[in-house]
Chains A and B, each alone.
Chain A
C-alpha cells in the first residue's frame, strides 16, 4: 500500500506540478491518466526517489519514501518515460550491468535472471547487439526488462506502451497484469484503453490536481445514461458546443462524432451510448476548475 499525502511541488519557473495530491495506491495495477504536463511524471519521479516535493509525504508499507530512499530503491522497478542507453554496449552486457547495481551480485543467479528477462522481452536473439542499433520498440522492451530486474515490489512505468506496436502492447499489458497481482504497479499513460483493460484502480490528474480516483468500472458506471453521441458536420460543432457540454469530438470518415455529457437527451439526433473510460476522462477534465 502506497500512501501519498498532501504532495505539492512547484518548479522554479512557477509551474505547479503537484497541488496537495493525496492518494492511496493499493497492491495491483494502478493507472494514472492525465494530459501532457499534468504532473504525472513528477508524481512518478517523486515516488521513484528521483525528485523532492516541496511538502507532503509518501509512505510505502511503512517506509518513508522521501527519507529512506535506499530502502525504496531496493524494491523499486522504474521505467522512465524517456530514457537512453550507451550506444556501444550490448543489450546483454547492459542488462547485466543493471542487474549488479540492482543488487543481484551472485553471478550465477544474475545470469539466470538476465537470460530470463531477455527471453521474456524477446531480446534474446539480439543480446549481443549494440543498443545503439536498436529500434524504438526494442529499446522500450529493453527498458521494461531492466525495470523488472530483481522482482520489484513497487513498479513504476511511465508511458510504457509508447513506441510499441499494438501486438507488443497487448503482450506487455498481459505481462504487467500478471506481475500486478501482488505488487504495486503504477502505470502512467495517455492511452485510456490501457487503464480500462488493466487497472483495478485509477486516478486522473490535471494541472497538478488530483481530479478523480477510483475503480475504472465504478467511475464508468457513474456516467451511465449521461453520455450522448451525434455525428455532425463541421459547421454545426460551434452551435452545439454553445448549447451543451461537449466532452469530445473525433473524426470518423470525414465526419465529426461528438460526445456530450448530459442528464437528458441534449437534442435532435443524439443517441445514448454506453460510457467508456474516455468519456469519464474527458468529462472530468472538462469539469475541472480553471487554474487559479
Chain B
C-alpha cells in the first residue's frame, strides 16, 4: 500500500499542464543559454566553451530557484488538496497510516519535481547540437556535467525545498503561508548572493545559499578557462557542508512535519458558522410590504455618474489587492531585497558609497521594482477573473455600469498598486539613508526618479490586462505574461534593437547628479508617450472584447465588439492610433532620419570593416604631429561642439611622403580640412577614413600645417547609446574622441575574440610583440605623434567653466560666451581633453604646485581627501622618481555616464561615480579616493614622462607602475595592515579575471589589453618585488628608469628595458624572482597543515609548523605544470594581540616542510606567506591557530 500511493501521486501530477509548460520554458531557456548569447546564464564568454562543464553546472544550478515556485505547487498540493476538496476524511480514515501516506505522497511529488528538470537538461543537451553554433566555441559533448549537476545540485535542492515546503503546507494549510516560505528562501538566497559582493563574506555566502549556487561561485571563482572547459567542481568541504546542511534541514523539517501532522485537525478546521439573525424571513410580512419599501431612487447614467462609479470601483479593486496576502508578501520581499541591494551598491574594494539618492533609485530599479512585473501580472489575472471565479460575474455584468468603468478601474487599481509599491520603496530607501546617518535627502529626485522608473511597469499592467481580457483562461494569461519575462531576451535574440518595436520597453535612462536626467529624458518621455498611445489602443480593444456575460466564443465576442464600437470607442481607437503613429513617426524622424540608427551589430561591423579595409595602411610612412593649436567652442545646452585647429605635421620618416591618411570619427562632421595642395583620393565618411594625395611630396624633415574645422552636433535624439561626451553640465571629451588621427587608428579595432571571429577577423587582436623593433617607433598613445606643443582656447556658456590642459593665460567674455585660453609651456604627450561644467572649485598648493579640484557642489565630502592624496603623491613621486613636469594639478568631476578617472597632462578628469561619493568612515575602510587619486597623479610620471612603445607590456609600464606608486603612497598614509587588505582584493580580482579573459592570459611582462593583469596582478607583483628587494632598490631602479627614458623620442622603451633596469639594481640572486613574477604565470599553493607550540626551558615557546607548498607554472589557457620549489617565503608567528612575534623569509625547497621557531610570547597564529604576497589561489589557508602541543 506504499508504492501505489507513490504511483498515484506521480500520475496525478503528470496530468498537470503546468509541469509541461514550465518544464518546456525552462528547456527553452537552457537551450537558449547554450546555443546563443541571448540568454546569459552560465557564463560562456571568451574561450570558455558554450557547453563547458562549468557552464552546464551553473546553468542547471540556476534552474532550481527558477523552478522553485512550481515545485512548491507540486509538494504543497500533495498535502493540501484533500483539504481543499474535502476528501481528507476519505483518505485519512483508510488504514494506510499517516506516515506511509505522507511519505508516499512526498516521494511522488519529488519524483515529478525531478522530472521537471528533464526540460532544462534536454534543452541544454539539444543546445549542444544547434547547427548555428560556431564549432570553435563548442567543447566535446559530455554526459558527466549533467549527471553531476543533477546529483549535486538539483536533488539536494529538491530535498530541501520539498521537505521544507511540504511541511509548511501541511502545517499551515495555506498556500499563502507556503509561498511566504518560498519568498523567505529567496531572501536567504539573495542575501548569500549579496554577501558575494565582499571578500570576507565569501565563506558565509557559500554556506548560506540554499541552492548551492554561491557555493560553487566561491569554489570556482579562480578557475581558469581550461578548468572551466574540462573540469567539474570537486566535492570539497564547503560544498559538502552546504549540501548536507540544507538537505539536513529539508529532511529534518519533513520529519517534524510528518510527526506533527494531525489529519483529525481538519475536522475542526475553520468552518463558516451561519449567523443566527434571530428573525428569519422578511420583515413586513404582517403588513403590506409596500409600507417598508424604500423610496424610488433616481438612477444616473450620465458621464458624471459613470465617473463616480469609476471612483468607487477603483477604491474597491485597489483595496482588494492591497489587503491580499501575496501583495504583502511580495512587498516585504521587495523591501528586504532593496535594502540588500542598497548596501552593496557601487561598492569598491569593500568600501561603500555614500547613499546618495541616485544610488537609492538605482538599487530600487535593480532589486525592487522588477517585482512589480510579477505583482502586476498576477493581479491583472486575479482581478479580471475574480468575478468569474467567485461566480459574481453575472450579477456585475447585468448592472448598468458601462464596461469601460469595470476595465478602467482594474487598470487604475494596478497603477495605484504600482504607486504604492514605489512609495514603500521610497520610504524604505529613505529610511536606509537616515539610518546610516545620511541626511541629504532629495525628495524631488525621488519623485521624478520613481515616476520615471515605474512607467515600464505601468505599461506592463496595461499589457497584462489586455492579455487577460483576450485569453481564454487566467492560466493561459499567466503563461503569456511569463513570456514577458523573456521578452527582452527574445528581442535581443532577434536583434530587435529599435525601441519602436520593443514593446513595452523604454530606452535606457541614466541619472547623473551633475547633469540630472540630461539628454536621456527626452527620448524616454517620447517613447513613453508612444507606448501610452498604444496602451489606449490596447485598452480600447480590450473594452470591445471584454467578456460581459457568459459568452466567451469569439463569434459572439466579435458580434458584441461591433455593437460596442460606438462613438467613444471609435474616438479612443482613432486618438490612440493617430497618436501612436504620430509619435512613432516623430521618433523615427529623430532616430533614423536626423540621426543614423546603428544597431550594435552594425557598429561592430563598421569597426571590423575599418580594420580590414585600412589596417593595411598602418605601416605606411606618415608625418607626425608636433604642435597642436585648437579653438574649441562648447555649446552645452545644444550639445554641440565646434573644433577649429591646426596641426604642425613633421616628416620624421626620412622618406618622401606622398599621401597623408586621416582617421576622423564618423560622428564628426568635417566642415573643412586644409592641407598643402592635394587630391582627396578616398573619402570614406561612413568608416571615417580619408586619403589625401599630396601634389608635392613631403620631404624628410619638412613640416607642413594641417588646418581643420570640425563639428560634433547632437540633433534630436537617437535610439540607443546617446552621445554622453557632450552634456548640458559636465562635457568631457578627449583628442582621441573627436580630433583627427594621422593614419590608421588602432583604438577602433574590436577587442572581443568571438565578435572578431564573427566578422571574419583574426580572433586575437594583433598586438605587436615586445621585440618587434618596427613597432618601437610608436608609443602606446598612437602612431601619429611623439611629444607635441599644445595651446588652445575653449569657450562655453557664461555659467560654466571650460578647461583644457595647460595653464590659464586669459579669460574673457565675448558675445555672451566665456572664453579661456590655455598654454602648455613644455611639450606634452599627444593626448588632451576638453571639459566644461558648472563646478565649485577648491584650491590648495603643494610647494609651488597649484592643486585645484573642480567638483559638483553637493559632492564635497571627499574633496579634501583628493587634495591630500595629490600632495602625498606629489611628495612621494618627486622625492622617489624625479621632478614633476607641470606647475599645476587639476581634478575635474564629470558625469557618471563613464566611470573612470583619467590622467591628462596636468589635468585629471574624474567620474562622479567613483571617489566623490565614496563613504570612508571607519579606520578599516580602504580609502578608494586616496588610492585612485594617487594612481592618477602617478600617471603624470608613468605615461606622461615614461611612455612605452606600442607593444606587449606597455601597460605594465604605465599602469602597473602607477599602481605600485599608489600602493606606496597609500602605505605611508594608512600602514601595512590596510595594504594587506587592499592587496587581498587585488589578488582576488586578478585570480577571478583569469577565467574571464577573452584572449589568453599573458605574463605581466607581456601584458596586452588585460586590465586584470596590468592593474591587479601588477599591484600584487610590484608589492611583492618591493618586499623581496626593498623599497629603496625598486625606487632607485625606477628613478633611473625615468632619467633614462623619460620624455624620450622613438624608439620607445619596453617592459624588457624596465625589467633590465630592475634586475640591474636588484641584489644578486633575484633572477628567479623576476622569472616567477614578471616572465611567467606562476602560482603558489601554500598551506599550513599543522601548528603546535611547546614551552621551552628558557621561558620561550617553540612553534612547530608543518607547511605544504607548491609552485606551478600556467600557460595562457590555464594548463598548469608543477615546478620544484626553491624559494624564500615569509614565515610568520603572531601573538594574541596581533603582534608579530616572528616574520622572516625561509628557504622552502620541498612540498612538505617542518619549521621550528622559538618565540618570546605565547603564539596565537602562525603560517606561511601570511600576508599573501605571493599569488596563491587559496589565500585563507596560509595561517592557522597554533595549538599547545
The answer on A and B forming one complex is: yes
Contacts of B549 in A (CB 8 A): 45, 49-52
Residue from B293, B305, B309, B559 with most neighbouring chain A CB atoms (10 Å) = B293
B399 touches A113 (CB 8 A): no
Specify which of A82, A112, A129 is in contact with B297 (CB 8 Å cutoff). A112
> How far, in whole Å, are A143 and B323 apart by their CA atoms in the complex?
25
Whether, in the assembled complex, B1 has its beta carbon less than 8 Å from a beta carbon of chain A, the answer is no
B394 touches A50 (CB 8 A): yes
Contacts of B312 in A (CB 8 A): 97, 100-101
Whether, in the assembled complex, B616 has its beta carbon less than 8 Å from a beta carbon of chain A, the answer is no
A104 touches B392 (CB 8 A): no
Residue from A97, A101, A129, A170 with most neighbouring chain B CB atoms (10 Å) = A101
- Of residues 115 to 144 in A, which have CB atoms within 8 Å of B's CB atoms? 115-117, 119-123, 125-126, 129, 132-135, 137-138, 141, 143
A112 touches B295 (CB 8 A): yes
In the complex, besides A45-B549, A52-B559, A74-B301, 15 extra interface pairs with C-beta distance below 8 angstroms are: A48-B394, A70-B402, A73-B398, A80-B395, A83-B392, A84-B391, A100-B312, A103-B305, A104-B300, A120-B292, A125-B278, A132-B272, A133-B274, A134-B274, A146-B395
Contacts of B284 in A (CB 8 A): 120, 175
A168 touches B283 (CB 8 A): no
How many A residues, CB 8 Å from partner? 66
**Contact residues of B: prevailing secondary structure:** loop
Contacts of A138 in B (CB 8 A): 274-275, 277
Whether, in the assembled complex, A184 has its beta carbon less than 8 Å from a beta carbon of chain B, the answer is no
- Of residues 292 to 339 in B, which have CB atoms within 8 Å of A's CB atoms? 292-301, 304-305, 308-309, 312-313, 316, 320, 323
Q: For residue B481, give the distance in angstroms from its CB to the closest CB of chain A.
A: 24
Contacts of A132 in B (CB 8 A): 272
A134 touches B282 (CB 8 A): no
Contacts A103-B305, A120-B289 given; indicate if A133 touches B272 (C-beta within 8 A): yes
Specify which of B282, B301, B548, B563 is in contact with A120 (CB 8 Å cutoff). B282
Whether, in the assembled complex, A292 has its beta carbon less than 8 Å from a beta carbon of chain B, the answer is no
Q: Which of B173-181, B550-558, B573-581, B1163-1171 contacts A (4 or more CB under 8 A)?
A: B550-558
Residue of B nearest to A166 (CB): B281
> How far, in whole Å, are A100 and B309 apart by their CA atoms in the complex?
6
Whether, in the assembled complex, B401 has its beta carbon less than 8 Å from a beta carbon of chain A, the answer is yes
Across chains A and B, the number of contacting residue pairs, with CB separation under 8 Å, is 178
B395 touches A52 (CB 8 A): no
Contacts of B290 in A (CB 8 A): 178
B280 touches A165 (CB 8 A): yes
Contacts of A2 in B (CB 8 A): none
Contacts A69-B563, A129-B275 given; indicate if A101 touches B296 (C-beta within 8 A): no
Whether, in the assembled complex, A150 has its beta carbon less than 8 Å from a beta carbon of chain B, the answer is yes
Contacts of B292 in A (CB 8 A): 116, 119-120
Contacts A82-B391, A116-B292, A120-B294 given; indicate if A70 touches B283 (C-beta within 8 A): no
Whether, in the assembled complex, B273 has its beta carbon less than 8 Å from a beta carbon of chain A, the answer is yes
Whether, in the assembled complex, A102 has its beta carbon less than 8 Å from a beta carbon of chain B, the answer is yes
Q: Which residues of B contact A (CB under 8 A)?
A: 272-275, 277-285, 288-290, 292-301, 304-305, 308-309, 312-313, 316, 320, 323, 390-392, 394-402, 405, 548-551, 553, 556, 559-560, 563
Contacts A168-B280, A178-B289 given; indicate if A151 touches B560 (C-beta within 8 A): no
Q: For residue A287, give the distance in angstroms from its CB to the closest CB of chain B.
A: 31
CB-defined A-B contacts under 8 Å, sample of 27: A48-B398, A49-B397, A50-B397, A50-B398, A50-B548, A67-B563, A76-B398, A76-B400, A84-B391, A100-B309, A103-B305, A104-B300, A105-B305, A113-B295, A113-B297, A116-B295, A120-B282, A120-B292, A120-B294, A122-B277, A122-B280, A150-B297, A171-B281, A171-B285, A174-B285, A175-B284, A175-B289
A104 touches B282 (CB 8 A): no
Contacts of B289 in A (CB 8 A): 120, 174-175, 178
Residue of A nearest to B390 (CB): A84
Contacts of A84 in B (CB 8 A): 390-392
A121 touches B282 (CB 8 A): yes
Contacts of B305 in A (CB 8 A): 103, 105
Q: For residue B385, give the distance in angstroms from its CB to the closest CB of chain A.
A: 13
Contacts of A21 in B (CB 8 A): none
Contacts A51-B549, A112-B294 given; indicate if A122 touches B390 (C-beta within 8 A): no
- Of residues 60 to 84 in A, which have CB atoms within 8 Å of B's CB atoms? 67, 69-70, 73-74, 76, 78, 80, 82-84
Residue of B nearest to A48 (CB): B398
Contacts of B396 in A (CB 8 A): 101
Q: For residue A131, give the distance in angstroms from its CB to the closest CB of chain B.
A: 10
> How far, in whole Å, are A112 and B278 apart by their CA atoms in the complex?
23
Closest 3 CB pairs of A and B: A116-B294, A50-B549, A135-B274
Whether, in the assembled complex, A106 has its beta carbon less than 8 Å from a beta carbon of chain B, the answer is yes
Q: For residue B851, give the distance in angstroms from its CB to the closest CB of chain A.
A: 68
**A 167-207 to B, binary, CB cutoff 8 A, 1 in contact else 0:** 11011101100100000000000000000000000000000
> How far, in whole Å, are A126 and B277 apart by their CA atoms in the complex?
7
> How far, in whole Å, are A132 and B271 apart by their CA atoms in the complex?
10
> How far, in whole Å, are A74 and B294 apart by their CA atoms in the complex?
18
A97 touches B395 (CB 8 A): no
Contacts A51-B551, A70-B402, A86-B320 given; indicate if A104 touches B299 (C-beta within 8 A): yes
- Of residues 3 to 20 in A, which have CB atoms within 8 Å of B's CB atoms? 12
Whether, in the assembled complex, A270 has its beta carbon less than 8 Å from a beta carbon of chain B, the answer is no
A83 touches B274 (CB 8 A): no
Contacts of B288 in A (CB 8 A): 178
> How far, in whole Å, are A67 and B559 apart by their CA atoms in the complex?
10
Whether, in the assembled complex, A282 has its beta carbon less than 8 Å from a beta carbon of chain B, the answer is no
Q: For residue B176, give the distance in angstroms from its CB to the closest CB of chain A.
A: 14
> How far, in whole Å, are A84 and B272 apart by their CA atoms in the complex?
14
Residue of B nearest to A68 (CB): B563
> How far, in whole Å, are A86 and B295 apart by their CA atoms in the complex?
27
A133 touches B273 (CB 8 A): yes
Whether, in the assembled complex, A85 has its beta carbon less than 8 Å from a beta carbon of chain B, the answer is yes
> How far, in whole Å, are A49 and B547 apart by their CA atoms in the complex?
12
Contacts of B551 in A (CB 8 A): 50-52
Q: For residue B412, give the distance in angstroms from its CB to the closest CB of chain A.
A: 15
> How far, in whole Å, are A98 and B401 apart by their CA atoms in the complex?
10
A104 touches B275 (CB 8 A): no
> How far, in whole Å, are A82 and B278 apart by their CA atoms in the complex?
25
Contacts of A49 in B (CB 8 A): 397-398, 549
Whether, in the assembled complex, A261 has its beta carbon less than 8 Å from a beta carbon of chain B, the answer is no
Whether, in the assembled complex, A264 has its beta carbon less than 8 Å from a beta carbon of chain B, the answer is no
Q: For residue B1031, give the distance in angstroms from its CB to the closest CB of chain A.
A: 75
B299 touches A103 (CB 8 A): yes
B316 touches A70 (CB 8 A): no
Contacts of B282 in A (CB 8 A): 120-122, 141, 168, 171-172, 174-175
Contacts of B279 in A (CB 8 A): 122
Specify which of B281, B299, B392 is in contact with A102 (CB 8 Å cutoff). B299
Contacts of A133 in B (CB 8 A): 272-275
Whether, in the assembled complex, A110 has its beta carbon less than 8 Å from a beta carbon of chain B, the answer is yes
> How far, in whole Å, are A129 and B277 apart by their CA atoms in the complex?
11
Specify which of B278, B285, B297, B563 is in contact with A104 (CB 8 Å cutoff). B297
> How far, in whole Å, are A150 and B411 apart by their CA atoms in the complex?
28
Contacts A52-B560, A105-B308, A122-B282 given; indicate if A78 touches B297 (C-beta within 8 A): no
Specify which of A48, A52, A100, A129 is in contact with B308 (CB 8 Å cutoff). A100
Residue of B nearest to A119 (CB): B283
> How far, in whole Å, are A116 and B290 apart by their CA atoms in the complex?
11
Q: For residue B903, give the distance in angstroms from its CB to the closest CB of chain A.
A: 66
Q: For residue A86, give the distance in angstroms from its CB to the closest CB of chain B.
A: 6
Residue of A nearest to B283 (CB): A122
> How far, in whole Å, are A50 and B296 apart by their CA atoms in the complex?
26
Contacts A112-B297, A168-B282 given; indicate if A12 touches B399 (C-beta within 8 A): no
A113 touches B563 (CB 8 A): no
Whether, in the assembled complex, A239 has its beta carbon less than 8 Å from a beta carbon of chain B, the answer is no
Whether, in the assembled complex, A109 has its beta carbon less than 8 Å from a beta carbon of chain B, the answer is yes
A116 touches B281 (CB 8 A): no
Contacts of B548 in A (CB 8 A): 50
Specify which of A51, A52, A115 is in contact with B294 (CB 8 Å cutoff). A115
Q: For residue A254, give the distance in angstroms from its CB to the closest CB of chain B.
A: 32
Q: For residue B218, give the distance in angstroms from its CB to the closest CB of chain A.
A: 47
